[in-house]
């Protein structure tokens, strides 16, 4: 009997340890926080408003769910902020990480369905944020930023990127400020006799031809990752129409076969794929490998951005790299913003658990976010602040490109419904691989929306 009891206790202990270990990344000990309504009110009063006072808190822990790994930017930033805040307040924190887009979406859906979302969670602006909004699970981040005085400091294009399409509110806090641009190898351009960076897509293709003729790979692309080729498909419609084409397409009001900008983008992908301007086997190369390929010395042009300054830093400082924005579509009126700016994956705050402690954390986060962006994640802060000293030169040189940007990047991943997106991804691979013609592509994708 004693043996049985002992076995039962051991089994229970093992099960408990397994459950405790599941998915938990970080946990720090500490006494429960004794935040009171007074402290919350004081925080609100400091921010100049009494209306936003959150309920008193007896919480002992802050929970978070993020996409990616421990080396990911979201984790790097929030692990730093949460550890500092929780240590100060005597709280525990727990960050759950899910690697991979599809797995993350599934996990988030489970939390939404069961209405058991953590205090903070990664959430893109689109169907998932709408689902959270529908169950009243989102704090109005815009109102909170106005309360603590940080709203006006936020980059306009970032706010534009995260603004809810239905009610115009800002429910999401940016992961950072990301700008994207092309980087190129100066030596290869020189060898190919290219003296100026391409200003239009026609010039871009002409430069690719010249580079190809000297036996170099013109463009490195991570074609295995859906968004990489989709960027080339969306550049022209974005430069000419902003978000209008893709929103119109999703609503069934626009078609690829009738929109000239979209048609030129389709032709661009087909031409680049079939003329060998992308590296051989590009459909089996993922973005990480493509990054390693380019910064390892292969290819002349790579679509990169501020998220990869760490990789580009050395070559740029040695004068080997240059950069240029998204080219214009020749013969059409292009908008002035030519650098895609977005806010990354974004974070949402659970309204159900948003108490005084969380409000205090929100303010702490805003105060220290830029520091965490530059020191930990090595990305631009979404707040319009002076760049700190000592950053790689590429930060200072690229910032003027987006300083005056007023229109955010339109991410097709967020704007298209999931099923249309999945179907387009399959077709774009066929298009880039030359298995279907541009006309066949246009006809097929036009049937995806009714």
Per CB under 8 A, 429 contacts other proteins: yes
Output the smallest distance, CB 115 to other proteins, in A.
11
Q: Which residues, in sequence order, are CB contacts of 2 under 8 Å at separation 6+?
A: none
* Minimum CB distance to other proteins smaller for 277 or for 362: 277
Q: Which residues, in sequence order, are CB contacts of 110 under 8 Å at separation 6+?
A: none
Output the smallest distance, CB 426 to other proteins, in A.
5
Tell me which of 258, 406, 426, 440 binds other proteins, using CB under 8 A: 426
Output the smallest distance, CB 218 to other proteins, in A.
13
Output the smallest distance, CB 304 to other proteins, in A.
17
Per CB under 8 A, 127 contacts other proteins: yes
Query: Alpha-carbon torsion 232, 234, 227, 440, what sign?
Result: negative
* Minimum CB distance to other proteins smaller for 281 or for 390: 281
User: Among candidates 355, 353, 369, which has minimal Cα distance to 84?
Assistant: 369
* Minimum CB distance to other proteins smaller for 167 or for 206: 167
Tell me which of 68, 427, 442, 449 binds other proteins, using CB under 8 A: 427
Per CB under 8 A, 435 contacts other proteins: yes
Question: CA 172 to CA 315: how far, in whole Å?
Answer: 35
Stretch that binds other proteins, among 149-157, 307-315, 360-368, 424-432 (CB under 8 A): 424-432
Stretch that binds other proteins, among 100-108, 322-330, 345-353, 391-399 (CB under 8 A): 100-108
Tell me which of 54, 285, 365, 405 binds other proteins, using CB under 8 A: 285
Tell me which of 60, 288, 404, 422 binds other proteins, using CB under 8 A: 422
* Minimum CB distance to other proteins smaller for 21 or for 281: 281
Question: CA 256 to CA 268: how far, in whole Å?
Answer: 13
Tell me which of 69, 113, 116, 404 binds other proteins, using CB under 8 A: 113
Footprint (CB under 8 A) of other proteins, residues 353-382: none
Stretch that binds other proteins, among 76-84, 166-174, 278-286, 351-359 (CB under 8 A): 278-286
Per CB under 8 A, 116 contacts other proteins: no
Tell me which of 38, 58, 70, 134 binds other proteins, using CB under 8 A: 134
Per CB under 8 A, 105 contacts other proteins: yes
Footprint (CB under 8 A) of other proteins, residues 392-421: 417-419, 421
Output the smallest distance, CB 288 to other proteins, in A.
12
Per CB under 8 A, 107 contacts other proteins: no
Token pair of 171, please?
A: 């429910």
* Minimum CB distance to other proteins smaller for 282 or for 354: 282
* Minimum CB distance to other proteins smaller for 197 or for 283: 283
Per CB under 8 A, 21 contacts other proteins: no
Tell me which of 433, 437, 439, 446 binds other proteins, using CB under 8 A: 433
Tell me which of 29, 168, 215, 280 binds other proteins, using CB under 8 A: 280
Are 160 and 151 contacting, i.e. CB atoms less than 8 angstroms apart?
Answer: no
Per CB under 8 A, 423 contacts other proteins: yes
Residues binding other proteins (CB under 8 A): 102, 105-106, 109, 112-113, 127-128, 131, 134, 217, 223-224, 279-285, 293, 298, 417-419, 421-423, 426-427, 429-430, 433, 435
């Amino acid at each position: 009997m004693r043996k049985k009891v002992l076995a039962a206790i051991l089994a229970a202990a093992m099960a408990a340890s397994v459950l405790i270990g599941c998915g938990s990344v970080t946990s720090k000990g500490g006494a429960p926080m004794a935040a009171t309504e007074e402290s919350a009110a004081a925080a609100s009063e400091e921010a100049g408003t009494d209306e936003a006072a959150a309920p008193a808190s007896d919480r002992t822990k802050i929970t978070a769910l993020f996409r990616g790994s421990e080396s990911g930017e979201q984790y790097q930033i929030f692990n730093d902020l949460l550890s500092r805040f929780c240590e100060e307040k005597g709280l525990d924190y727990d960050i759950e990480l899910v690697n991979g887009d599809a797995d993350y979406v599934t996990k988030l859906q489970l939390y939404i369905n069961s209405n058991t979302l953590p205090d903070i969670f990664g959430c893109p602006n689109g169907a998932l944020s709408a689902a959270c909004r529908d169950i009243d699970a989102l704090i109005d981040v815009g109102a909170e930023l106005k309360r603590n005085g940080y709203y006006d400091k936020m980059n306009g294009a970032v706010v534009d990127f995260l603004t809810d399409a239905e009610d115009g509110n800002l429910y999401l806090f940016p992961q950072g400020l990301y700008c994207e641009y092309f980087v190129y190898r100066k030596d290869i351009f020189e060898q190919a006799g290219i003296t100026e960076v391409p200003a239009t897509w026609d010039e871009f293709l002409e430069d690719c031809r010249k580079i190809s003729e000297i036996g170099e790979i013109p463009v490195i692309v991570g074609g295995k990752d859906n968004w990489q080729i989709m960027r080339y498909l969306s550049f022209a419609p974005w430069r000419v129409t902003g978000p209008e084409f893709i929103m119109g397409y999703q609503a069934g009001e626009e078609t690829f076969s009738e929109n000239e900008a979209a048609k030129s983008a389709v032709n661009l992908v087909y031409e680049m794929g079939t003329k060998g301007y992308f590296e051989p086997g590009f459909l089996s190369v993922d973005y990480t490998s493509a990054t390693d390929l380019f910064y390892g010395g292969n290819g002349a042009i790579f679509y990169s951005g501020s998220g990869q300054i760490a990789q580009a830093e050395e070559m740029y400082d040695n004068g080997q790299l240059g950069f240029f924005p998204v080219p214009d579509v020749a013969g059409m009126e292009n908008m002035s913003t030519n650098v895609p700016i977005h806010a990354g994956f974004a974070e949402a705050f659970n309204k159900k658990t948003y108490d005084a402690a969380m409000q205090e954390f929100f303010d702490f986060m805003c105060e220290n976010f830029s520091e965490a962006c530059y020191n930990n994640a090595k990305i631009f802060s979404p707040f319009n602040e002076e760049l700190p000293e000592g950053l790689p030169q590429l930060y200072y040189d690229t910032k003027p490109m987006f300083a005056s940007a007023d229109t955010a990047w339109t991410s097709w991943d967020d704007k298209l419904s999931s099923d249309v997106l999945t179907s387009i991804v399959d077709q774009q691979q066929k298009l880039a691989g030359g298995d279907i013609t541009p006309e066949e592509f246009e006809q097929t994708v036009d049937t995806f929306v009714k």
